[in-house]
Amino acid sequence: MSKKCACGCDCNDIFLPLAEALNELRCYAGDKPEMVGIAWEREEGHVYRYDIPMPRDIRTAERASVVSLVERCVKFVLWAAGGWKLYLAGPDWLVKPIAKDYTKKGARKFDYGFFNDLYGKPFEVVIVPYKKMPAMSERRVLVKNNTNGNRIGFDLGASDFKISALKKGKVVFSQEFPWDPRNAGDPEYHYSKLSAGLEEAAKALGGKVDAIGGSTAGVLVGKKLGVASLIRGVKEQNPGKYADAQNFLKRIEEEWQVPFEVYNDGDVTALAGAITMKKNGILGVAMGSSEAVGYIDPKGALTGRISELAFAPVDYNPNAACCEWSGDYGVGAMYFSQQAVNHLACKFGFKFPKAMKLPERLKVVQAAMEKHDDKALKVYLMIGRYLANAVPWYREFYDFQNLMILGRVTSGLGGQIILETAKMGLEALDPCLAEEVDIFMPDEKARRLGQSVAAAQIPVVK
């Protein structure tokens, strides 16, 4: 039975690695397994496909645990890639309960509602024969550190946005522009503010612009802002104009008539690391107020996945701490963010005033760590262990050789402990995998590059 922990959650902290459970299922699959197919279709017909081999004869008593494990895979793929239509192939006892979960009143009703709103179209689940499963189809944009021509890059944040202008790879303009998009009820505000900044950058290029690349907070569907705090004010104050707010980047693209690419800030952070270190196959995990993730594939391409792994499962323990927003257990935000620090700090004996917010609680733990406090040490050691166990699980769905960690949680001595603990933990779990995956934090050069400069290098100019 679970019991109240120090932070008030009904949970226990026995971490059950999902990769370990999945490998166990594979081991029993044999030479002629039954294949289970999972595929999520998203915008423009793009599809993420994932297959699982399993034994053909599974005893009735064991079926519930297999259903649970496969559902965790279904959910991970959804939050990794995005999607509005789920294809399932497998035996009825397995796929029918999962299909029921992803309905308006099912166990995953939060996910149903979120993605229904994100894509603006009915959320569907279809069960098909394995041979009818759709093939993998990514939205790949190859990034080759493009520096030719006159380029503008922008990075949209909650309190300011930054714009840089590059002439043949050299930064000739870089400026931060304050704004308050969260409280703006008119989408014209977002459009006019960014347009004015782009015009200033264009002046620095003599009026000739060959390409524009962007980075933005929030979830993107192509170049449409799906769910983003940047346009939340419009949804709350002026819902009739919400579609205009979602499409203000498309409007800018149409007006400038140059190659135009925009990706979420996690992807562009990973890109900045790839550019400065000349590495590909990077999964970037930012541990901040939540878990933000970006990805560059081994060939140096952005894939168009949403990579919202804050809501993706990482722990198989059904009694693990639950996410306050989604209500689901064992998801990434509870292991790799300020929420994780708070949960563990309370567990290990820190006492915080109820009114103290998470950023301030993080500062208390960080200050204690700098003084080599044992309780703080336990917090960072545990996050490092979680990360080591997450690597093989993330590798199921992302092909990467480099895991870059960053964000406020990784600042100071605590961040070094997370890094070293994760490396040692992965070595103990899987020495071969530890040789294949380099876990690191970005260097000063990567931090200096900035997302607006990195974003400027995404579009291809012929």
pLDDT digit string, tens, across residues 262-304: 998 888 888 888 888 888 999 999 898 889 899 999 998 989 8
458 in any annotated domain:
no
460 in any annotated domain:
no
The alpha-carbon radius of gyration of the chain (Å, integer) is 22
Tell whether 94 and 177 lie within a shared domain. no
80 in any annotated domain:
yes
- Separation between Cα atoms, residue 102 and residue 399, nearest integer Å: 27
Residue 406 pLDDT greater than 70, yes or no:
yes
Write the CA distances from 140 to 109, 263, 302, 305, 339, integer angstroms.
30, 12, 5, 10, 33
Write the CA distances from 248 to 159, 268, 337, integer angstroms.
18, 20, 30
Q: Return the DSSP state at 262.
A: E
Q: Return the DSSP state at 137.
A: B
Q: For 75-123, give the DSSP string.
A: HHHHHHH--SEEEEES-HHHHHHHHHHTSTTSTTHHHHHHHHHHHTS--
Q: What residues does 127 pair with on adjacent strands? A: 88
- Separation between Cα atoms, residue 320 and residue 329, nearest integer Å: 6
Q: Give the end of a domain, one of 132, 161, 185.
A: 132
Tokens encoding 290: 């939540």
Q: What average pLDDT does this structure show over 74-85?
A: 97
Tell whether 276 and 258 lie within a shared domain. no
Tell whether 257 and 313 lie within a shared domain. no
Residue type, 45: G
pTM for the whole structure: 0.87
Q: What average pLDDT does this structure show over 90-101?
A: 98
Reduced to 3 DSSP states, what percent helix, strand and coil does the chain have, rounded to the nearest 5?
45, 20, 35
Q: Give the end of a domain, one of 263, 290, 311.
A: 263
pLDDT at 272: 82
Parallel/antiparallel/unpaired status of strands 402-406 and 282-287: parallel
Tell whether 199 and 333 lie within a shared domain. no
Domain residue limits at 111? 8-132
Q: Return the DSSP state at 250.
A: H
pLDDT at 3: 34
Tell whether 444 and 323 lie within a shared domain. yes
Tell whether 315 and 440 lie within a shared domain. yes
Q: In the chain, how many domains are there?
A: 3
pLDDT at 5: 39
Residue 447 pLDDT greater than 70, yes or no:
no
106-158 pLDDT per residue, tens? 999 999 999 998 888 899 999 999 999 999 999 887 777 778 999 999 999 88
219-253 pLDDT per residue, tens? 888 899 988 889 989 999 999 999 999 999 999 99
Tell whether 304 and 443 lie within a shared domain. yes
Tell whether 423 and 358 lie within a shared domain. yes
- Separation between Cα atoms, residue 231 and residue 136, nearest integer Å: 32
- Separation between Cα atoms, residue 438 and residue 432, nearest integer Å: 12
Phi first, then psi, for residue 357 (nearest 5°) are -80, 165
User: Which pLDDT band holds residue 449 (cuts at 50, 70, 90)?
Assistant: low
Q: What average pLDDT does this structure show over 319-347?
A: 93
Q: For 358-386, give the DSSP string.
A: HHHHHHHHHHHHHTT-HHHHHHHHHHHHH
Residue 7 pLDDT greater than 60, yes or no:
no
pLDDT at 158: 80
Q: What average pLDDT does this structure show over 381-407?
A: 96
- Separation between Cα atoms, residue 456 and residue 363, nearest integer Å: 34
141 in any annotated domain:
no
Burial (Cβ within 10 Å: 0-12, 13-18, ≥19) of residue 87: buried
User: Which pLDDT band holds residue 444 (cuts at 50, 70, 90)?
Assistant: low
Across the chain, what does the average pLDDT equal?
92
pLDDT at 139: 83
Tell whether 341 and 259 lie within a shared domain. no
Q: Return the DSSP state at 350.
A: -
